[in-house]
């Protein structure tokens, strides 16, 4: 017979539990072992292999899910001024990533970076577009090639995340920091950045 039943309910629950556990555990230690992750999910290491062929497969799925969430959060981000758009992207990003900081940094910089890059492509495209537009209008610096600037902006955001996890920063403050660093990187002075952030209510932090 070829007809396979649909998976048992507890099985899918456990699968989700594993992903959730991985999310938490990898955020504490980016290199957490399967043992650790399974334990947090209330399962044995052995049974992880009932859901994921390899450790790598688990991680990739986790990254994919995260990237999709982020991409989703960017929907509807739009504003005529490229600088504001960038700040808005930074703002939304922070919201999605605040409780995943460590893992996020690892996903982008660690061995999964290739996969992460692919999954985050849409986000990067958005940033690149905003930058290109800003350079065209003269709002943004033109002394650094746009594609390079895109990567540097990304790094700036990561830097803010790293700082936020290093010290346990206030959400509101961290949210502002991400925007400030991004704007600083694309060429705005501190005062201009502050003016933009404070002049646009949609860039304000609102508790979740």
- Of 48-56, 89-97, 152-160, 200-208, the segment contacting a copy of itself by CB under 8 A is 152-160
Q: Which two tokens stand for residue 19?
A: 């992903």
Q: Whose Cβ is closer to a copy of itself: residue 73's or residue 133's?
A: 133
> With CB cut-offs between 5 and 8 Å by kind, which of DNA, a copy of itself, none does residue 194 bind?
a copy of itself
Interacting partner of 168 out of a copy of itself, DNA, none (Cβ under 5 to 8 A depending on kind): none
What is the Rg, in whole angstroms, of the alpha carbon atoms belonging to the chain? 19
Q: Would you list the DSSP string of 109-148?
A: HSTTHHHHHHHTHHHHHHHHHHHHHHHHHTSS--SS-HHH
Q: Which of 5, 8, 46, 148 binds a copy of itself (CB under 8 A)?
A: 148
Segments of 48-188 assigned E as strands: none
* Positions 108 through 147 that interact with a copy of itself (CB under 8 A): 140-141, 143-144
* Max Cα–Cα distance, the chain, nearest Å: 70
Is the separation of the CB atoms in 132 and 147 below 8 Å?
Answer: no
- CB-based contacts of 87, cutoff 8 Å, min separation 6: 179, 182, 183, 196, 197, 200, 203
Site string for DNA, 31-70 (x = CB under 7 A): --xxx--x---xxxxxx-xxx-xxxx--------------
Return the one option of DNA, a copy of itself, none that residue 184 interacts with (CB less than 5 to 8 A, by type): a copy of itself
> CB under 5 to 8 A by kind: which of DNA, a copy of itself, none does 51 bind?
DNA
- 71 Cβ contact partners less than 8 Å away, ≥ 6 residues apart: 120, 122, 123
Residue 11 binds DNA, judged by CB under 7 A: yes
CA distance 82 to 64: 28
- Pick the closer one to a copy of itself by CB: 99 or 192: 192
Binding site for DNA (CB under 7 A): 4-5, 7-11, 14, 33-35, 38, 42-47, 49-51, 53-56
Binding site for a copy of itself (CB under 8 A): 140-141, 143-144, 148, 151-152, 155-156, 159-160, 162-163, 166-167, 177, 180-181, 184-185, 187-192, 194
């Amino acid at each position: 017979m070829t007809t396979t039943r649909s998976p048992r309910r507890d099985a899918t629950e456990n699968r989700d539990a594993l992903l959730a556990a991985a999310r938490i555990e990898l955020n504490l230690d980016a290199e957490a072992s399967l043992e650790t992750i399974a334990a947090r999910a209330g399962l044995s290491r052995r049974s992880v292999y009932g859901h994921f062929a390899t450790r790598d497969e688990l991680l990739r799925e986790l990254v994919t899910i995260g990237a999709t969430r982020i991409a989703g959060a960017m929907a509807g981000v739009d504003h005529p001024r490229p600088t504001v758009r960038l700040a808005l992207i930074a703002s939304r990003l922070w919201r999605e990533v605040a409780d995943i900081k460590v893992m996020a940094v690892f996903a982008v910089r660690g061995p999964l970076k290739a996969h992460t890059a692919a999954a985050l492509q849409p986000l990067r495209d958005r940033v690149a577009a905003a930058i290109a537009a800003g350079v065209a209008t003269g709002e943004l610096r033109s002394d650094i090639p746009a594609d390079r600037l895109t990567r540097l902006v990304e790094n700036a955001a990561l830097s803010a995340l790293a700082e936020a996890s290093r010290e346990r920063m206030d959400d509101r403050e961290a949210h502002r920091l991400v925007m400030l660093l991004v704007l600083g990187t694309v060429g705005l002075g501190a005062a201009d950045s502050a003016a933009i952030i404070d002049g646009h209510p949609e860039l304000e932090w609102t508790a979740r």
